[in-house]
Amino acid sequence: MDRVSAPVDTRITRPRLATAWLGGCSGCHMSFLDLDERLIDLLARADLVYSPFIDIKEFPEAVDITLVEGAVANEDHLRNIQLIRQRTRILVSFGDCAVTGNVTALRNFFSVEDVLTRAYRDSAIVNGVPHSPHLLDRVLRIHDVVTVDHFLPGCPPSADVIYRFLEDLLAGREPALQERKFGS
Ligand code: SF4
């Protein structure tokens, strides 16, 4: 599968920040909320233009930094991450599910048919009709699908780690916490 790459540099004076949620438990976003009063400081320095925290339906154009939680587990995730990559200058693989597959990828030990039957067909029927996106054959890490600029591992990464990481990125510095390299 060809990996989608970053758009050309569209740097603007006030960074446009986004967070997105694919196949994860939302724990990484809960950790982001644990920034507490530091959220005010962060949002004084960047515009939050897309996130599960705000009511924006369509991922916007020209985003400077996007944190992506979760692995790529179904066709909706696949479409979303490719769109996010096309519209994001710096894409961050946010948390262990995004970086390694982690909990989300446990279903790779089972057949898609068995998972569908147990978790979807038997339990997600709406008005007698199956109501869920098609599962991919295997759960994929973000960097299996698109080019990733930075990795922010942790399950979830702590609020302190998230804050220091975003401080560096917003200041135009290389984040200092990349002790481990992922990707191939
Ligand atoms: Fe949840 Fe951990 Fe995955 Fe984050 S890395 S989405 S906290 S399971």
Determine whether the shortest distance from the Cβ of 27 to ligand 1 is under 6 A. Answer: yes
Q: The pTM is what? A: 0.79
Lookup: tokens for 72: 């790529």
Determine whether the shortest distance from the Cβ of 69 to ligand 1 is under 6 A. Answer: yes
Strands 129-130 and 125-126: antiparallel
Instruction: Name the residue with higher pLDDT: 155 or 14.
Output: 155
% of the chain exceeding 70 in pLDDT: 85
Lookup: tokens for 140: 């994929």
Determine whether the shortest distance from the Cβ of 68 to ligand 1 is under 6 A. Answer: no
Closest approach atom of ligand 1 to CA 30: 7
How many residues does this entry show for the chain? 184
Q: What is the pLDDT of residues 163-172, one digit of tens each?
A: 999 999 999 9
* Whole-number Å distance between alpha carbons of 184 and 119: 31
Amino acid letter, residue 96 = D
At which residue do the structure tokens 């302190």 appear?
160
Determine whether the shortest distance from the Cβ of 32 to ligand 1 is under 6 A. Answer: no
Q: State the distance from the centre of ligand 1 to the C-alpha of 69, rounded, in angstroms.
A: 7
Determine whether the shortest distance from the Cβ of 155 to ligand 1 is under 6 A. Answer: yes
Q: Measuring from atom 6 of ligand 1, which residue has the nearest CA?
A: 24
Lookup: tokens for 2: 């060809």
Looking at residue 12, what is its pLDDT? 53
Query: What element of type H or E holds 67?
Result: strand 63-69
Looking at residue 131, what is its pLDDT? 66
Domains of the chain: 16-108+136-176 (3.40.50.700)
Closest approach atom of ligand 1 to CA 155: 2
Residues 6+ apart with CB under 8 A from 66: 17, 18, 19, 20, 50, 84, 88, 90, 91, 92
Q: Helix (H, G, I), strand (E, B), or coil: what is residue 139?
A: strand
Q: Are 108 and 78 in contact (CB under 8 A)?
A: no
Q: What is the pLDDT of residues 23-74, one digit of tens each?
A: 999 999 999 999 999 999 999 999 999 999 998 999 999 999 999 999 999 9
Q: From residue 129, give the alpha-carbon distance in Å to each of 40, 124, 133, 153, 176.
A: 44, 8, 12, 38, 49
Residue 155 has pLDDT above 90, yes or no: yes
Determine whether the shortest distance from the Cβ of 103 to ligand 1 is under 6 A. Answer: yes
Which mutation among 30, 32, 34, 102 tests ligand 1's pocket best, with the greatest number of atoms within 8 A of CB?
102
Q: In sequence order, which ranges of the chain are alpha helices (DSSP H)?
A: 27-33, 38-45, 75-87, 96-100, 112-115, 142-145, 159-170
